[in-house]
């Protein structure tokens, strides 16, 4: 054995623990689609007709206030060509898949009510969701937001989760798209408690071990900075023991907790950007998705009010996308047109350049960019997200980049490093 081989073996032994820890903590992309949004519907207002109702209302609002390519171009300050590229795609999306991720809300959107009332609403919602899963009309991703594991609401949150899961399993409605949202997390211990609860409920209801997943809502300053001065969100992901799928920013709870006046609470306030920067760094390489929050300025009222709210929402969605946050919350059917118009415009504006760079990277040829593997993965991920949400057709990518969707996914979801 040469001196170099001996040295390399010594380094392998010395770094074995660090290598294993890196692989465990940063497994990379999960290889699954990330929804572009999560829609929150109060638990007592959800039914098996909710998605169809949101589809009809969002399509009607678009037809009324943006009923042509020219109107959309004007309302959203898009070029006529870009508006033309996205208009039919958006109308089709609103008809065929208006909601990508649905959360039946038994927290702030539902409020505090007598136990018997919440129990009845939980059972009804679980039955309705199961019906959509059975008939194939369920949104690709769906689930429930329970009350937090803080002391005053812990028992109620656990009771709601138990009831919902039990009914969903009995009705044959528990599938791969199901996820639970844990709000207002203030400690690593609450995440550990959630894991304990899911372990127990899986056993009680005959659910496959370690199959239930949950999201952490970052709505409190304690989730970002602990009392000891450390950033807790990375520890929360680790405490989730592989069950955490997302970190969702809570615009208004978080801002209010820091004393930001109501008039200035926004997804683009500096305190919001700081929190989301921490979330992105903590989640990078873990396979955990990051989601922005919502705007509470709704597109309702007269034409000027609707279009002003659309422009605000569109700008905020575009801003999040540019910052690498590909998901947000929507609270009203009239927000769906602006969600998809902004999202589709983002992916279509960058499609040709990203595809040309991918073609040069994969097939060789002239390019003014010298792209490395990590950048190629980012380019592929950008285009793949466009395909998965409906902004881009797979055959367009084959024409522009010379690769099919399978190759695109292989490039996008490879582990770099």
| pLDDT tens figures, 94-136 | 999 999 999 999 999 999 999 999 999 999 999 999 999 999 9
Is 119 inside a domain boundary?
yes
Same domain for 396 and 286, yes or no, is no
Is 256 inside a domain boundary?
yes
Same domain for 316 and 409, yes or no, is no
**Each residue's pLDDT tens digit, 234-282:** 999 999 999 999 999 999 999 999 999 999 999 999 999 999 999 999 9
Same domain for 267 and 389, yes or no, is no
pLDDT at 414: 61
Same domain for 51 and 87, yes or no, is yes
Same domain for 253 and 395, yes or no, is no
pLDDT at 415: 53
Q: Is the pLDDT at 167 greater than 90, yes or no? A: yes
Q: Is the pLDDT at 148 greater than 60, yes or no? A: yes
The helix (run of H) or strand (run of E) holding residue 260 is none
293 pLDDT band, cuts 50/70/90, is very high
The count of domains in the chain is: 2
pTM value surpassing 0.85: yes
Distance CA 389, CA 413 (A): 17
Same domain for 296 and 376, yes or no, is no
Average pLDDT over residues 223-229: 91
Q: Is the pLDDT at 417 greater than 50, yes or no? A: no
Same domain for 262 and 390, yes or no, is no
CATH code: domain of residue 109: 3.20.20.360
**Each residue's pLDDT tens digit, 308-355:** 999 999 999 999 999 999 999 999 999 999 999 999 999 999 999 999
367 pLDDT band, cuts 50/70/90, is confident
Distance CA 392, CA 403 (A): 14
Q: Which of 328, 349, 370 is the last residue of a domain?
A: 349
Distance CA 174, CA 87 (A): 35
Please check whether residue 403 is in contact with residue 397, taking contact to mean a CB–CB distance below 8 angstroms.
yes
Is 15 inside a domain boundary?
no
Please check whether residue 392 is in contact with residue 351, taking contact to mean a CB–CB distance below 8 angstroms.
yes
Q: Is 111 helix (H, G, I), strand (E, B) or coil?
A: coil
Q: Is the pLDDT at 158 greater than 80, yes or no? A: yes
Residue that the structure tokens 């595809």 belong to: 355
Q: Which of 301, 321, 349 is the last residue of a domain?
A: 349
Distance CA 55, CA 78 (A): 24
Q: Is the pLDDT at 176 greater than 80, yes or no? A: yes
CA 210 vs CA 173, 202, 242, 279: distances in Å? 18, 8, 8, 24
DSSP string, 289-348: EEE---------SSHHHHHHHHHHHHHHHHHHHHTT---EEE-STTHHHHHHHHHHHHHH
Same domain for 209 and 312, yes or no, is yes
Q: Is the pLDDT at 16 greater than 60, yes or no? A: yes
pLDDT at 389: 97
Domain around 92: 37-349
Is 32 inside a domain boundary?
no
Q: What percent of the chain has pLDDT over 70?
A: 99
DSSP string, 395-415: HHHHHHHS--HHHHHHHHTPP
Count of C-beta atoms within a 10 Å radius of residue 251: 23
Distance CA 53, CA 51 (A): 5
416 pLDDT band, cuts 50/70/90, is very low
Same domain for 254 and 290, yes or no, is yes
Same domain for 257 and 406, yes or no, is no
Q: Which of 349, 372, 406 is the last residue of a domain?
A: 349
**Each residue's pLDDT tens digit, 52-85:** 999 999 999 999 999 999 999 999 999 999 999 9
């Amino acid at each position: 054995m040469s001196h170099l081989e001996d040295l390399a073996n010594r380094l392998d032994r010395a770094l074995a623990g660090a290598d294993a820890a890196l692989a465990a903590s940063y497994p990379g992309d999960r290889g699954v689609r990330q929804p572009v949004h999560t829609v929150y519907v109060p638990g007592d207002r959800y039914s098996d007709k909710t998605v169809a109702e949101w589809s009809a209302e969002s399509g009607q609002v678009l037809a009324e206030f943006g009923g042509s390519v020219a109107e959309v171009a004007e309302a959203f300050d898009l070029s006529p060509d870009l508006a033309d590229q996205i208009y039919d795609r958006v109308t089709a999306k609103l008809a065929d898949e208006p909601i990508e991720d649905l959360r039946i809300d038994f927290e702030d959107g539902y409020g505090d009510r007598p136990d018997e009332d919440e129990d009845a609403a939980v059972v009804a919602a679980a039955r309705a969701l199961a019906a959509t899963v059975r008939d194939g009309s369920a949104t690709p991703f769906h689930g429930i937001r329970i009350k937090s594991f803080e002391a005053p609401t812990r028992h109620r949150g656990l009771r709601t989760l138990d009831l919902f899961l039990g009914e969903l399993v009995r009705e044959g409605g528990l599938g791969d798209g199901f996820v639970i949202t844990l709000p207002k997390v203030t400690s690593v211990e609450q995440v550990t408690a959630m894991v304990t609860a899911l372990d127990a409920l899986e056993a009680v209801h005959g659910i496959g071990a370690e199959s239930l997943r949950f999201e952490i809502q970052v709505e409190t300053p304690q989730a970002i900075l602990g009392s000891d001065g450390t950033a807790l969100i990375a520890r929360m992901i680790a405490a989730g023991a592989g069950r955490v799928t997302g970190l969702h920013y809570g615009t208004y709870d978080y801002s209010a907790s820091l004393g930001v006046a109501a008039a200035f609470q926004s997804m683009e306030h500096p305190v919001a950007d700081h929190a989301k920067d921490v979330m992105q760094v903590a989640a990078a390489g873990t396979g955990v998705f990051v989601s922005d929050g919502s705007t509470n300025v709704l597109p309702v009222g007269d034409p000027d009010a609707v279009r002003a709210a659309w422009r605000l929402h569109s700008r905020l969605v575009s801003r999040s996308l540019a910052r690498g946050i590909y998901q947000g919350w929507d609270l009203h059917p009239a927000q769906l047109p602006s969600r998809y118009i902004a999202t589709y415009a983002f992916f279509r504006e960058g499609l040709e350049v990203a595809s040309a760079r991918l073609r040069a990277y994969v097939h060789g040829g002239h390019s003014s960019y010298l792209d490395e593997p990590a950048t190629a993965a980012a380019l592929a991920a950008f285009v793949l997200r466009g395909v998965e949400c409906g902004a881009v057709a797979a055959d367009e990518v084959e024409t522009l980049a010379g690769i099919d969707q399978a190759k695109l996914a292989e490039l996008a979801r490879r582990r770099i490093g």
